[in-house]
Structure 1
Amino acid sequence: MMLRLRVSFPDRPGALGQAARVLGTLGADILQVTVLERESGRAMDDFTVSWPGTVDADTVRDRLSGVPGMRVEGVWPTREVPGAAPDYDLLKHVAADPGRAFATLVDAVPDLVSAEWAAILSSESGELVHRSWQAPRTLDETGGLAGVKAADLAPLRPAVLGSGRHRMMSVPVPETGLHLIMARTDGPPFHRVELERAVRVLEIVSIMSRTS
């Protein structure tokens, strides 16, 4: 079983090692550590870890939270394979068939940011143009797409959206009037590092799509 853990702790020598030791005592194999931020004397890192069997996320949270100054921001399943290059694989497939650029994007982009699904929709009508197989089928006027209405997509800038169980981000597709939506129901809100990664990939895919 592979999980992503988002952990905040004091930015001081030895703090990262404390988190690693706790995970080790739980039988975790740490596959990757991603630095998200170092601000105001605190650090926030994502750990990608694997266990030989199932693991109780609450136990992981409780054990890490028992370290003074350490906070667990989220524990959630991930499909991202450490050491792989899913963004390069995505761009390779888009280059091979730029006419399907956005359809390819929604299938592949969730693995880049530990999302569950992705969709591209019109910011004016809310019509779904492309969707990954896990995504909702419609954007209705009452509940919206997982709680987000088309009106929420009006600002032409990347944004973190949603409330309650739904963690979402929206990235406008340059010069199209479309928005890329990514969502997960587990884990913390999307971090700005994840948002920035999605923006960069989308910009390149958008340019490549115009060559078809």
Structure 2
Amino acid sequence: MMLRLRVSFPDRPGALGQVARVLGTLGADILQVTVLEREAGRAVDDFTVSWSGPFDADDIRDRLSAVPGIRVEAVWPTREIPGASSDYDLLKHVASDPARAFATLVDAIPDLVSAEWAVAVSTESGELVHRSWQAPRSLDEEGGLSGVKAADLTCLRPSALTAGRHRFMSLPVPGASLHLVLARTEGPSFHRAELDRAVRVVEIVSIIGR
């Protein structure tokens, strides 16, 4: 299986190598490293690794955190394919059939940011217009998003939100009377780098879709 690890460590020479060595001793094969931020002397990177057999998130966190200065923010399974140009593939499919631009966006964008599902909500009626295959049929659905209201997730600006066990990304779709909501229950809150990537894709899709 593939895992993502969000790791914070001192932004100094050799620190990245320390993380890589510990992952190697755990049997992880590093497939991709994504830089999320470099601020105030610290770095935050996402590591995509190949992991054979079952995994224990707490054990991985403890082993890495034993190295001074290293903090593991999250460990979670991912479907994202390292090295794949998923955003370009999405845009190619949108451009080939602009009439289905927003349905294609909803189906494909979860894999760009390790989300579990996505929905497009009409800003006029509040109803779900498109939903990916794992998404609930309603944002207020009992047992799916119990206690979470659509109005809480459709912010006027791109935002990362947390409600109960869900982590949400909220994205207005320019000029389309739609609002895109992505969610995951495993892993950390969406990082602003993930938010920025999704915003750029949504902006291009909205131009093609119009």
Partner in structure 1 of residue 12 of structure 2: 12
Per the alignment, in what secondary structure is the counterpart of residue 74 of structure 1?
A: strand
Superposed displacement of residue 10, structure 1: 1.1
Superposed displacement of residue 54, structure 1: 2.3
Letter in 1 for 2:48: T
Change (3 A) 1:22 1:114: same
Letter in 2 for 1:58: D
Partner in structure 2 of residue 165 of structure 1: 165
Partner in structure 2 of residue 93 of structure 1: 93
Structure 1 runs (4+) greater than 3 angstroms displaced? 141-148
Change (3 A) 1:29 1:146: farther
Superposed displacement of residue 176, structure 1: 2.4
- Is this contact kept in 2: 1:110–1:118, CA < 8 A? yes
Superposed displacement of residue 152, structure 1: 2.3
Superposed displacement of residue 154, structure 1: 5.1
Partner in structure 1 of residue 70 of structure 2: 70
Gap regions ≥5 residues in structure 1:
none
- Percent identical: 79
Q: Deviations over 1:36-92 (max 9, x none)?
A: 001111110000000232222221111011111111111111111111101111111
Change (3 A) 1:64 1:93: same
Gap regions ≥5 residues in structure 2:
none
TM-score, normalization by structure 1 = 0.93
Per the alignment, in what secondary structure is the counterpart of residue 95 of structure 2?
A: helix
Superposed displacement of residue 206, structure 1: 0.6
Aligned partners of 1:31 and 1:105: how far apart in 2? Answer: 26
TM-score, normalization by structure 2 = 0.94
| Aligned-residue CA RMSD (Å) | 1.8
Aligned partners of 1:141 and 1:113: how far apart in 2? Answer: 24
Aligned partners of 1:19 and 1:147: how far apart in 2? Answer: 39
Aligned partners of 1:54 and 1:117: how far apart in 2? Answer: 24
